[in-house]
Amino acid sequence: MVLVVAAATVLPFGCYSQTASYQAMSDVPTKIEFERSGGFAGVTLSVVIQLDQLPEEEAQHLRGLVQNAHIFELQSPPRSPDQADAFQYTLNVHTQNNSKTLTFDESNISAEAKPLIQILTKYAKAQRRSAQ
């Protein structure tokens, strides 16, 4: 059995990574696809992150956020009907053997998933700026 452990470090954006351990290499997130749509202006942001192409500390930080958010244990909650101008999020996390897609809006993001959504939004905004 191979364990991957991330050390707690301070990373850009003022976030602290959490210690993450995985049962086997096949459980380690390898790719994250993220999209934020809706909102008052209806602007869509998206990003695809190949974790093996990031600096190791950054990749471990994102893996820790995925683990802390319990992504593979969650189900997409029903959309809130009174959130017409709310942001909607689609998150797809891939491992070597599995993937999980969740869709939710800003009113029903779990407290554990908020740090992940916040940093993925920053990645998507940075990608959009670099593409302009």
According to the model, what pLDDT value does residue 126 have?
92
According to the model, what pLDDT value does residue 75 have?
82
Mean pLDDT by 10 residues, the chain (132 residues): 31 35 65 93 92 95 94 80 81 93 89 95 90 76
According to the model, what pLDDT value does residue 80 have?
67
Supply the pTM of this predicted model. 0.76
Domain ranges for the chain: 10-131
Question: What angle do the packed helices 56-69 and 114-131 form, to 10 degrees?
Answer: 140
Give the separation between CA 31 and CA 92, rounded to whole angstroms: 8
Give the separation between CA 42 and CA 21, rounded to whole angstroms: 38
For 119, the 3-state DSSP assignment is helix
Tell me the CATH number for domain 10-131: 3.30.1560
